[in-house]
Structure 1
Amino acid sequence: MDPRRFSDLITFSRVAETQSFTAAAHSLGVTQSAVSQTVKRLEAELGIRLLSRSTRSLTPTAAGEQLLATLAPNVAELNAKLADLERLREEPGGQLRVTCGKHAADTLVWPAFSKLLAAHPYIEGELSVEDRYVDIVKERFDVGIRMRDNLELDMISVPIGLSLRSVVVGAPGYLDACVAPDRPRDLARHRCIGFRNAGGILSPWTFEKDGRTETVKITSPIIVNDGDALVAAACAGMGLAYMLEDLAAPFLQDGQLVETLGNWSPRFPGYHAYYSSRRHPPPAVTLFLDLLRQEI
C-alpha cells in the first residue's frame, strides 16, 4: 500500500470517529484544512463519497460505513500492538532462544535461564541442549554458550563461567590392578574409555605441564557419547576416563574414582556466551547475560 494512502485512511477514520473535521485535526496535530483536503483526495481517488456533510452534522455514507467496518478492527489491533511495544520499555518481553551443551546447561545456564523467565513473564524462552556445533545466525538463536576457542570471528563473546579443568580418573579397583600413569605417554598401556562428540570425532586427551602441551590419541575399546555414561563406565572399573572435573567431583569425593596425572591437568578458560555482532542485543539477552555473570 502507498504510505500516503494508509495515512489518508487513518485521517478518514478519525474524522468519522469524532464526526468533526476540527476535532480530528486537533487530535492528529494538523490543520482543519489539511484534514478536509485529505478526505476529499481519498474520496476522489476511490471515486465514491465517504462522508455526508451538512452545516450541523458529519456522518459516514453507506460506503463509508463499509470502509470503517474494515478499518476499525485493524486500527484497534495496530494500536494494541503499539501499546504492547511501549510496555516492553518497562517490562522486557519477546523471545529468547539459547543453545548450549549439557554440561553448560546443568552447571551454569539453566539456573540463570529459569530465574530470568520467573522474573520476566513477558519473555518467551527456549533452551536447546545439545552438544553439536550450532550456527546461531542460521538457526536463529539469540545466544550460544561455548568454549572461547570454538567461536567464530564475527561473534561477540562474553566470559560467563569460572575456569575449568579436565582430569583423568579411574576406579580404585582398576588402578590397584595396574601401574598408574606418570605421564601422558603412559596411557598407551591402559584401557581408556573414549568419548565421541556430537561431530562424530573421538575427543583427544590434551595435557599441559611447564608450558608444554601434549595431545594423546588413545585407543578406546569402549566409546560413549554421553557424560553420565562416561562417569558410569569409569566407576565400573572399565578403564581410565578423561572428563571435566565438575563431572567427576562427586565421585572423587566419595572415593568411587581416583585422579591420575594431576600435575598435567591445569585449569583453562571456561564458557563464553556469544551472539551475533550484526545486531544490537535485545533487552532479554542483556538480562540473561547479567544473570549468567551473577551465577558465577
Structure 2
Amino acid sequence: MPRPSLNDLTAFVAVATHRSFRRAADEIGTAPSTLSHAMRALEERMGVRLLNRTTRSVSPTEAGFQLLARLRPALASLDEALDSVADFRGNVAGTVRINAPRLAAGLLVREVLPRVAERHPDVTVDVVVEGRLIDIVSSGFDAGVRLIGSVPRDMVAVPFARALTFVCVASPAYLDRFGEPGTPEDLQRHHCIGHRMPSGKLYRWEFERAGQELVIDANGPVVLDDEELMVEAAIEGLGIAYVADWAAETALLDGRLRKVLTAWMPGPEEIAVYYPGHRAVPPALRAFLDVVKNLRKTEP
C-alpha cells in the first residue's frame, strides 16, 4: 500500500478533530471541496473508510478514531522536533492562536500585541474573540484567556499585569435626574443596563461588603451582550451599567461616567493567559508569554 503523505494525514486530523470540512479547510488554508476529495483519495489509498459523511455532518469511523488517536501524538512530536531547532535561526517565527473574550482581546491589542510586533516581527498573533468557555486544545488554539480561577487544572496560567475589577457606572446627567443608589437594593428603583451572557442568560449583578454578599436581578429598558456598548449606553444616560473597569476607564477619566456603589463592589480578580501544560511550548507562544510576563514585572 502506498504510504499516505504527511499533508494528507495532517488534513485527516483536522477534519476528524473539527468534524467539519469547512472548519478544517479554514485551518489548513484550502477549499472544503478540495479537502473532501483528498479524504476520499486517502480512504481509497488505505483501503478503509475513515469518515462517516452526511449532508450535514462528518465524523470518524471506528477505524478513523483509532487512526486519529495514534496520529495526534505523532504529529505533536513532529511539531516539537521542528520547534526545537527554532532558536538556532536567530529569530522567532510562527503563528500563535489565542481565544479570548472581547474585553481581554482589547487589552491584548492595546498592551501586548504592540510589544510582540516590536520584539518579534515574524510572529503572527491570531486572536479569536469568543465569549463562551471552550476547550482550547480540541478547538485548535495555542492559548486562551479567562479568569484565573476558572483555568482548568491541567493548564499553565500566566496572569496579566492588570487584574479585573467590576464597577457600577452612570452618567452625571442620569444621576442628576434619578439620584444615586445608596445600596444594591436601591437598584430596583433605577434603570439598569442588562448584560446578556454568551449562554443566553442575563448576568446577575454581584455585590459584597463586610462579608455580606448580594446578588441582584437588574432590570431596565436595555439589554446588551457587549461591555463596550454597555458603557456607551450608560454615557447616553440610559441607566446604570455593571462593567469591568477596563471598559469604563476612559469615560471615568474624562467625566462622562461616575462610579456608584463603590463600597459594595467585589474585589479584583486576576485574568490569565493559559496554555496546555503537558506539551512543549512552541517558540512563538513562548515569545508571546514572555511579553505578558514582562508586562507584569514592569507594572507599578
TM-score, normalised relative to structure 2: 0.65
Gaps in structure 2 of 5+ consecutive residues = 3-80
Q: Counterpart of 1:280?
A: 280
Q: Counterpart of 2:175?
A: 175
The correspondence of residues 88-237 of structure 1 with structure 2, limited to 5 A, is: 88-89=87-88, 90-108=90-108, 111-237=111-237
Distance, in Å, in 2 between the alignment partners of 1:85 and 1:281 is 10
- Give a deviation string over 1:195-250, Cα, whole Å, max 9, x none: 11222221221111112222212123210112221111111111111111222222
Distance, in Å, in 1 between the alignment partners of 2:203 and 2:221 is 14
Distance, in Å, in 1 between the alignment partners of 2:268 and 2:257 is 22
Gaps in structure 1 of 5+ consecutive residues = 3-81
Residues 126, 110 of structure 1: CA spacing in aligned structure 2 closer, same or farther, 3 A cutoff? farther
Residues 146, 161 of structure 1: CA spacing in aligned structure 2 closer, same or farther, 3 A cutoff? farther
SS in 1 for 2:186: helix
8 A contact 1:195–1:202 mirrored in 2: yes
8 A contact 1:112–1:291 mirrored in 2: yes
Residues 209, 87 of structure 1: CA spacing in aligned structure 2 closer, same or farther, 3 A cutoff? closer
Q: Which moved more, 1:147-156 or 1:112-121?
A: 112-121
Letter in 2 for 1:260: V
Larger-gyration structure (1/2): 1
- Alignment length, in residue pairs? 218
- The alpha carbon displacement at 1:167 in A equals 0.9
SS in 2 for 1:177: helix
SS in 1 for 2:178: coil
- The alpha carbon displacement at 1:122 in A equals 4.1
8 A contact 2:86–2:283 mirrored in 1: no
Q: Counterpart of 1:60?
A: none
- Give a deviation string over 1:106-150, Cα, whole Å, max 9, x none: 224553234324433443431212323232011111111111132
- The alpha carbon displacement at 1:276 in A equals 1.4
The correspondence of residues 8-27 of structure 1 with structure 2, limited to 5 A, is: none
Residues 257, 125 of structure 1: CA spacing in aligned structure 2 closer, same or farther, 3 A cutoff? closer
Distance, in Å, in 2 between the alignment partners of 1:177 and 1:196 is 26
8 A contact 2:194–2:224 mirrored in 1: yes
Distance, in Å, in 1 between the alignment partners of 2:164 and 2:82 is 46
Letter in 2 for 1:166: F
8 A contact 1:104–1:145 mirrored in 2: yes
Q: Counterpart of 2:267?
A: 267
- Give a deviation string over 1:51-86, Cα, whole Å, max 9, x none: xxxxxxxxxxxxxxxxxxxxxxxxxxxxxxx99974
8 A contact 1:133–1:198 mirrored in 2: no
Distance, in Å, in 2 between the alignment partners of 1:134 and 1:125 is 19
Distance, in Å, in 2 between the alignment partners of 1:84 and 1:149 is 31
Distance, in Å, in 2 between the alignment partners of 1:84 and 1:234 is 48
SS in 1 for 2:206: strand
State the identity as a percent: 34
Residues 153, 220 of structure 1: CA spacing in aligned structure 2 closer, same or farther, 3 A cutoff? farther
Distance, in Å, in 2 between the alignment partners of 1:264 and 1:214 is 9
8 A contact 2:169–2:242 mirrored in 1: yes
Distance, in Å, in 2 between the alignment partners of 1:212 and 1:109 is 37
Residues 123, 249 of structure 1: CA spacing in aligned structure 2 closer, same or farther, 3 A cutoff? closer
Distance, in Å, in 1 between the alignment partners of 2:278 and 2:140 is 13
